[in-house]
Amino acid sequence: MKRIMILLGFIALINCGANLNAQSNDKVIEIFQSISDEWASHVTAKNLDGITSLYTDDATIDANTQEAVTGKEAIRDYFSGWFDSFQSIKNQQTIISTWVFGDNAYVYGSWEETEINENGDGIELNGNWVNYFVKENNVWKIRHELWNDAQYFEFRKKD
């Protein structure tokens, strides 16, 4: 929870700042929506190489209901475990807002997901997320990913 508060405080500071180079327009949202759609497509296909290619080598994922994972190999293991836990996963994301500062960007969005386990039982999930992106070799990569599914914490804790 402390990490969430620090990250959200940092975003609020940036949002309140008077940086004239910041931009949040339809084209920028379109760029990051495309990346989010690619992410969701890799999840649905359970494509480990595709999903990990979207992250920097030193990236961190903090899913709010478990310990954060850092580094591409740990992220690959994280997704492998998630993919193996379900027969199918369908994820959809919508960009709410973006803040771009040179080769850095904060992107905030909402997500909806359907997970079907091996018994065919499904669960509908939703929440919000914020990603910190950096541009590497002119390609946007996720450096820090924070998911909020706190409303399902008790459900996930039982698994």
Could you tell me the domains of the chain? 2-158 (3.10.450.50)
pLDDT reported for residue 13: 45
- 55 contacts: CB under 8 Å, gap ≥ 6: 61, 72, 75, 141, 142, 143, 145
CA distance 44 to 87: 10
Residue 7: is its pLDDT beyond 70? Answer: no
- Position 157 confidence tier, pLDDT thresholds 50, 70, 90: low
Residue 23 above 80 pLDDT? no
List, for residues 24-36, the tens digit of each pLDDT value: 478 899 999 999 9
Query: What pTM was computed for the model?
Result: 0.79
In this predicted structure, the answer to whether residue 50 has a pLDDT above a threshold of 70 is yes
Residues in Cβ contact with 30 at an 8 Å cutoff, skipping those fewer than 6 apart: none
pLDDT band at residue 9, thresholds of 50, 70 and 90? low
In tens, the pLDDT along 65-109 reads 678 999 999 999 999 999 999 999 999 999 999 999 999 999 999
Mean pLDDT across the chain: 84
Beta strands in 29-138 (DSSP E): 55-62, 69-70, 88-101, 104-116, 122-136
